[in-house]
Amino acid sequence: MLQTHTIHQVSHEQRHLAWDKSLPPVLSVKGGEQVFFRALDASGGAITPATQTADLKAIDFAVMDPVHGPVFVEGASPGDTLQVDILEVKPAAWGWTAIFPGFGLLAGEYDTAALKIWELEAGRARFNEQIVIPLDPFCGEMGVAPREDGRFSTIPPGFHGGNIDTRHLTAGATLFLPVGTEGALFSLGDGHAAQGDGEVCGTAIETPMDVTVRLSVRKDIAISEFEFLTAGPLAPRTNTAPYYVTTGHGPDLMEAARKAIRHMIAYLQRTYDLKPNEAYMLCSVAVDLKINEIVDAPNWVVGAYLPTSIFLK
């Protein structure tokens, strides 16, 4: 009989840096059972509360974005769907946001590294004396092994999920992943305490994370890429005041997104006296990129949505 009360544990030592269906699983579970993950942050523990900006030059990108697992789910076969119910997500008491030159939406425009260490307390993180970010934690990385042979970096997303950085996958949400190999081989990592849609500077509020999920096999659903059900309405969850929106337009959505963020950085500089790198990091953790219009050729419109509720005065 299925023991749905069983909670298996994956430790922070049980991690890998590539999606690969040949990896041996760290444990095997029955469909419907729960797994508790103790996950490192995106730096794999290289960044700590004592890290200084100058230390970023020594960070090895080859060890960034570790995921924990993989977990073999009995009965999962190619063509099935793995249902991941996100039961609990608990960030650590600290986190970090960084600008790495050459990485992020505006790569090439910010050639100086920057680092912010956050204290996470009482459901929020203080950016400065006038800006407070509400926490809404989730895992940036959740996925299964790809159906193809070989090793695939954990940094880009794919058909199997992976580094999807989707901030709506909070506790109470359900993620659906297409199974590509026997047992699915599920892993997760990359804890985020808060993030804006787009994660534009390349990092959110990165943090170690304790995560509990329930893994179930769905043979009645066939999907080609990940899908999800949110935990509830999106707008009222953490931001309850109006949004200030800057826009970018053009025939290329990526460039339109860059324009919208550049305009938001300029707005934050002139309105709140932030330095450019401060404004860029704030955009990454609090500003949502949205496609406002994609039908009126030849130009499309992207908006950058800033929640004004993060400002105390």
Question: How high is the pLDDT of residue 10?
Answer: 87
Same domain, 60 and 182: yes
Q: Is residue 236 part of a domain?
A: no
In the listed set 198, 229, 260, which residue is the last one of a domain according to the structure?
229
Question: How high is the pLDDT of residue 1?
Answer: 35
Q: Which residues contact 269 (CB under 8 A, 6 or more apart)?
A: 275, 276, 279
Q: Residue 9 is encoded by which pair of tokens?
A: 């544990």
Q: Is residue 31 part of a domain?
A: yes
Same domain, 203 and 248: no
- The CA-based angle 181-182-186, given to 5 degrees, is 75
pLDDT tens track for 254-306:
999 999 999 999 999 999 999 999 999 999 999 999 999 999 999 999 999 99
What is the Cα–Cα distance from 252 to 250, expressed in whole angstroms?
6
What is the Cα–Cα distance from 191 to 86, expressed in whole angstroms?
13
In the listed set 229, 254, 274, which residue is the last one of a domain according to the structure?
229
pLDDT band at 180 (very low <50, low <70, confident <90, very high): very high
Same domain, 26 and 161: yes
Helix or strand or coil: residue 202? Answer: coil
Q: Which residues contact 94 (CB under 8 A, 6 or more apart)?
A: 49, 117, 118, 119, 120, 207
Q: Is residue 141 part of a domain?
A: yes
Q: Is residue 40 part of a domain?
A: yes
Q: Is residue 235 part of a domain?
A: no
- The boundaries of the domain holding residue 181 are 7-229
CA 278 distance to own-chain centroid: 20
How crowded is residue 67: how many other Cβ atoms within 10 Å of its Cβ?
A: 28
Q: Is residue 238 part of a domain?
A: no
Q: Is residue 72 part of a domain?
A: yes
pLDDT tens track for 203-251:
999 999 999 999 999 999 999 999 999 998 876 666 788 999 999 999 9
Same domain, 221 and 286: no
pLDDT band at 36 (very low <50, low <70, confident <90, very high): very high
Same domain, 80 and 33: yes
Same domain, 85 and 210: yes
Same domain, 51 and 188: yes
Angle between helices 253-272 and 276-286 (to 10 degrees): 120
In the listed set 174, 198, 229, which residue is the last one of a domain according to the structure?
229
Question: How high is the pLDDT of residue 3?
Answer: 45
Same domain, 134 and 211: yes
How crowded is residue 235: how many other Cβ atoms within 10 Å of its Cβ?
A: 9
Give the domain CATH number at 26. 2.60.120.580
φ, ψ at 160 (rounded to 5°):
-85, 0
Same domain, 67 and 195: yes
H helix intervals, the chain? 253-272, 276-286
Distances, alpha carbon 24 to alpha carbons 145, 166, 188, 261, in Å? 11, 27, 15, 42
Same domain, 30 and 62: yes
Same domain, 251 and 206: no
What is the Cα–Cα distance from 280 to 261, expressed in whole angstroms?
8
Strands (E), 129-235: 131-134, 138-143, 152-153, 157-158, 161-163, 174-178, 186-192, 209-218, 227-229
Q: Is residue 237 part of a domain?
A: no
Question: How high is the pLDDT of residue 236?
Answer: 65
- The CA-based angle 149-150-156, given to 5 degrees, is 115
Tally the domains of the chain: 2
Same domain, 145 and 252: no
Decide if 176 contacts 227 (C-beta within 8 A): yes
